[in-house]
Amino acid sequence: MKLNPEGKIVILTGAGVSRESGLNTFRDADGIWAQVRIEDVATPEAFARDPEGVQAFYNARRQGLRAAEIQPNAAHLALAELESDWPGEVLLVTQNIDDLHERAGSRNLIHMHGELFKARCEDCGSIHEWRGDLEVTSPCPACGDSGNLRPHVVWFGEMPFEMDRIAAELESCDLFLSVGTSGSVYPAAGFVQEVRMAGRGHTVELNLEPSEGRDLFHEHHHGPASEVVPDYVHSLLEGVGRR
C-alpha cells in the first residue's frame, strides 16, 4: 500500500505488543483476568472496598515490570523507529500501562489507560513517578495527605485519558495500525470504526490472531508482534525511501 510520505500515522497498541517482552496479556488463557477478577482489582468500587488488595495487585505488577529481564522487544523498537524515520507525524496511543514504548524510544505517545509507574493523589490531583510499592498509608509528596494515593491507571467505569485529542487524530489520519489488542474493550475497540467513518485512513491489524474487530480492517498481518510489526514498518519506510 503506497502512503503519502507526509501522511499521518496513528498506532494503537495493546497487551499483545508486550507479550514477547514477558508481560502477560489480559484475555489469553494465561492472561491476567484468568488469575484475578476485574471486579476485585480494577474498578473504583474495588479500591473503595479493599484498598490494600488493589494496591497489592498493582505493587506486584510494578515489581514485575521492574525486573531486569523485562525489556522492549522488536515490535516496540520498530514502532519507535517508525516515529523517528517516517517523514510525517506518528502518534502512538497505547492501552498498556507498562513503560516499554518509552524505553524503546517512542516519544509522541499517549497512555490512554494511564501508567503503572505513576501514582495520583485523589486529594490534590498531583501525579508522581512511583516505581516502588504504593501503600494505603503512603503520604502524597505534594499535599502530605495519606490514604488518597492511587495507581495512576484507568479502571473499568472510568474515562480514559486524552480522548478528545485521540478522536481528532483518528479523524485526520492516513494510516491506522492496531497492534496486539483483542478489540474487546471500548473506547479503544471503536477506534478503527472512527477511522473508517472519517473515510480517509487505511486500517491495518497487526495481531497474533484475528481480533474481534477483524472485519473492520482493510488489511491484516497475523503473527507474533516481534515479527509482523518490524516487517510492516520496514515495508512502509522502504516505500518512502527511508530504509
182 binds ligand APR per the rule CB under 6 A: yes
20 binds ligand APR per the rule CB under 6 A: yes
98 binds ligand APR per the rule CB under 6 A: no
Distance from C-alpha of 17 to C-alpha of 226, rounded to nearest angstrom: 8
Neighbours of 216 (CB within 10 A): 18
138 binds ligand APR per the rule CB under 6 A: no
The minimum distance between CB 107 and ligand APR, in angstroms, equals 21
The minimum distance between CB 142 and ligand APR, in angstroms, equals 26
25 binds ligand APR per the rule CB under 6 A: yes
Cell numbers found for residue 108:
509522541
DSSP codes joined into one string, 38-77: HHHHSSHHHHHH-HHHHHHHHHHHHHHHHSTT----HHHH
95 binds ligand APR per the rule CB under 6 A: yes
Distance from C-alpha of 206 to C-alpha of 217, rounded to nearest angstrom: 10
78: enclosing H helix or E strand: helix 74-85
The minimum distance between CB 179 and ligand APR, in angstroms, equals 7
Chain residue whose CB lies nearest ligand APR? 16
The minimum distance between CB 226 and ligand APR, in angstroms, equals 7
Q: Which residue from 19, 76, 111, 202 is in contact with ligand APR, where contact means CB under 6 A? A: 19
Over the Cα atoms of the chain, what is R_g? 18
Distance from C-alpha of 123 to C-alpha of 109, rounded to nearest angstrom: 27
Cell numbers found for residue 56:
497489592
Bridge partner list, 127 = 120
Distance from C-alpha of 35 to C-alpha of 37, rounded to nearest angstrom: 7
Q: By rule CB under 6 A, what string of x and - marks binding of each residue 203-222 to ligand APR?
A: ----xxx-x-----------
121 binds ligand APR per the rule CB under 6 A: no
225 binds ligand APR per the rule CB under 6 A: yes
Strand locations in 122-224 (E)? 127-129, 149-153, 175-179, 202-207, 219-222
- Binding piece for ligand APR, criterion CB under 6 A, among 47-55, 58-66, 130-138, 174-182: 174-182
113 is annotated as an active-site residue: yes
Active-site hit among 76, 101, 111, 113: 113
Size of the site for ligand APR (CB under 6 A): 23
Q: Applying CB under 6 A, which residues contact ligand APR?
A: 14-16, 19-20, 25-28, 31, 95, 113, 180-182, 184-185, 207-209, 211, 224-225
Q: Would you name the residues annotated as active-site residues? A: 113
